Amino acid sequence: MGTYHHLWSIAKKNAMAVVIGITISDRFVTFVSVTGESMHPTFTGTNSVWRGDFVLAERRCLEQYKFSHGDVVLFKCPSNHKELFVKRLIALPGEWIQLPGSLNVTKIPEGHCWVEGDNPARSWDSRAFGPIPLGLVQGRVTHIIWPPSKIGQVERKMPEGRISSD
Amino acid sequence: MSGFFRRVAALPWRSIAGEAFSGTFLVAQAFCAVHVVDEYVCSVAFTEGPNMLPAINLAGDVVAVDKISARLSKVAPGDVVLMVSPLDPSRPIVKRILGMEGDSVTYLVDPGNSDTSKTVTVPQGHVWVQGDNIYASRDSRLFGAVPYGLITGKVFCRVWPPKGFGPIDSNQSQSQSQ
């Protein structure tokens, strides 16, 4: 009988810890492992989850949807909702963006944004699937926490002269 | 004066602090439990606007939303879903799914004025959503098919007003949109 109670209290404590962990991860900050070459050199290009870079993504920005140009964001892939992508946010709603390699400009519709990888040669991004709804964005990547050699903040970076706000 | 200080010092500060801490922790635990149930199991949503008439009233209806089916991709054409508006990420909207990826959907372009209809194929990973009241609804006819990732839950039951309590039908739109 004593063992039973002991086990039950351990199970209860663990369940509570999981619930608290999920809440923190949903509302405040979460860890993600970044794989793939699309964001090289900001993040390492590798295909294995365990050898990828672990990054910290904050969720507070989702309350107001306040983003800046050049933020690295985490979003659900528009064609497969189970996949999470990490890309750099280039343009916000209402802005005109010049497509690379051409002189055409496109207007970003209301409530959408334009995302691109840092490694244009190996990235599948808005150049292929167009602007994505801001509702797909799941967080903003702020820090790299693993591997130790790359620990630090993720910088904002913007390609020059490609967007105009009118 | 010194007597007052002595009395203050004699209060059981340690146990008061302990109690305050455990009280706060209990509230935090409750908050977390509510969040997890609301996010992963079942939630409620307030609806307004004419776009889902007559399945959902003009204003003041409260509906129950099932978060499990959306997460497991168990929604099908005909289901009423709660989703994030593609035009404004902070605004939830309620619509009915008319087509999943790969389906072709035929819709009236401007139901009030003309009979022209258009047929589109829904791209991969997207869904076609429309309001039941096609005369007053901003939906896929305006902004095109939307990514599945915007769907947050399936509306399955009307909770308020009490007179209208009951399940929301999954398949009444087909006849009504004609």
Q: Tell me which chain B residues have a C-beta less than 8 angstroms from the C-beta of A22.
A: 32, 35-36, 39-40
Q: Give yes or no: residues B131 and B62 share one domain.
A: yes
pLDDT above 90 coverage of chain A, percent: 30
Residue B176: per-residue pLDDT: 41
Beta bridge partners of A58: A29, A140
CB contact under 8 A, A76 and B85: no
Say what the pTM is.
0.81
How far is CA B77 from each of CA A5, B12, B99, B147, rounded to the nearest angstrom? 48, 63, 5, 15
Enclosing H/E stretch for B130: strand B126-130
Of B87, B90, B147, the CB nearest to A81: B147
At B23 the pLDDT is: 93
Q: Provide the phi-psi class of B102: left if phi over 0, else alpha when psi is between -120 and 50, else beta.
A: left
Rounded to an integer, the average pLDDT of B33-62 is: 85
**pLDDT, averaged across chain A:** 86
Q: Is the ipTM of this complex over 0.95?
A: no
What average pLDDT score do residues A87-112 get? 85
Give the E-state strand segments of B49-116 in sequence order: 59-66, 80-84, 92-99, 104-108
Q: What is the model's pLDDT at position B162?
A: 79
**B54: CATH:** 2.10.109.10
Number of domains present in the structure of chain B: 2
Report pLDDT for B157.
Answer: 87
Q: How far apart are CA B7 and CA B114, in angstroms?
A: 85
Query: How far is Cα A134 from Cα A131, in angstroms, rounded to an integer?
Result: 9
C-beta atoms surrounding A148 within 10 Å: 7
pLDDT digits (tens, 9 = 90+) for A79-90: 888 889 999 998
Taking the CA of residue A6 and the nearest CA in chain B, the distance in Å comes to: 21
Which member of B35, B85, B150 has the closest CB to residue A136?
A: B150
Q: Which residue of A has its CA nearest to B100?
A: A79
Residues of A in contact with B31 (CB under 8 A): 23
- Of A16, A64, A136, nearest to B149 by CB-CB distance is A136
State whether residue B118 is helix, strand or coil. Answer: strand
Whether B39 sits inside 8 A of A26 (CB atoms) is yes
**Residue A76: closest CA among A138, A26, A22:** A138
- Based on the domain organization, do B50 and B32 belong to the same domain? no
On whether both B74 and B95 belong to a single domain, the answer is: yes
Look up the domain containing A104 and give its range. 2-164
A125 to each of A79, A128, B40, B118, B151, how far by Cα in Å?
11, 6, 29, 29, 21
Look-up: residue for tokens 């990235």? A123
Q: Are residues B69 and B29 in the same domain?
A: no
Mean pLDDT over each residue of chain B, to the nearest integer = 86
Rounded Cα distance between A111 and A89, Å, is: 13
Residues of B in contact with A137 (CB under 8 A): 89
Active site residues of A: 38, 87
Work out the average pLDDT over B88-111: 88
CA dist B87 and A102 (Å) reads 27
CB within 8 Å: A133 and B32? no
Task: Indicate yes or no: CB of A19 within 8 angstroms of CB of B36.
Answer: yes
Closest CA to B62 of B34, B40, B32, B92: B92
CB within 8 Å: A20 and B126: no
Task: Give the tokens for residue A110.
Answer: 């209301």
If one counts the domains in chain A, the total is 1
Q: In which band, very low, low, confident or very high, does the pLDDT at B178 lie, cut at 50, 70 and 90?
A: very low
Is the pLDDT confidence value at A93 over 80? Answer: yes
- So what's the pLDDT on residue A1? 63
Q: Are B76 and B56 part of one and the same domain?
A: yes
What band does B173 get if pLDDT is binned at 50, 70 and 90?
very low
CATH number at residue A143: 2.10.109.10
Q: How many CB atoms lie within 10 A of CB A79?
A: 17
Contacting residues of A for B32, CB less than 8 Å apart: 16, 19-20, 22-23
* CB A95, CB A162: distance < 8 Å: no
pLDDT in tens, A121-164: 888 888 888 899 999 999 999 999 878 888 888 888 887 777 77
The answer to which of A43-52, B67-76, B104-113 has the lowest mean pLDDT is A43-52
Q: Residue B172: its pLDDT value, please? A: 55
Q: Which domain holds residue B33?
A: 2-39
Judging contacts by C-beta atoms under 8 Å, the chain B residues touching residue A134 are: 89
Reduce the secondary structure of A37-70 to three states and give it as a string. CCCCCCCCCCCCCCCCEEEEEECHHHCCCCCCCC
Region class of B164: left (phi > 0), else alpha (psi between -120 and 50), else beta: alpha
**pLDDT at A120 > cutoff 80:** yes
Which of A27, A77, A135 has its CB closest to that of B84?
Answer: A135
* Higher per-residue confidence, A59 vs B163: A59
Q: What are phi and psi of A83, to 5 degrees?
A: -100, 140
DSSP conformation class of A111: T
pLDDT attached to residue A112 = 92
pLDDT of the residue at A118? 87
DSSP B30-57: HHHHHHHHHHHTEEEEEEESSTTTTTS-
> How many whole angstroms from its chain centre is CA A120?
17
Residue B159 has what pLDDT? 86
Q: Which residue has the tokens 């509230």?
A: B27
Query: What is the C-alpha separation between A76 and A4, in angstroms, rounded?
Result: 43
Total beta-carbon pairs less than 8 A apart between chain A and chain B = 75
Q: Are residues B137 and B170 in the same domain?
A: yes
pLDDT at B177: 41
- B176 vs A39: CA distance, rounded Å: 48
How far B106 CA sits from the closest chain A CA (Å)? 21
pLDDT band at A8 (very low <50, low <70, confident <90, very high): very high
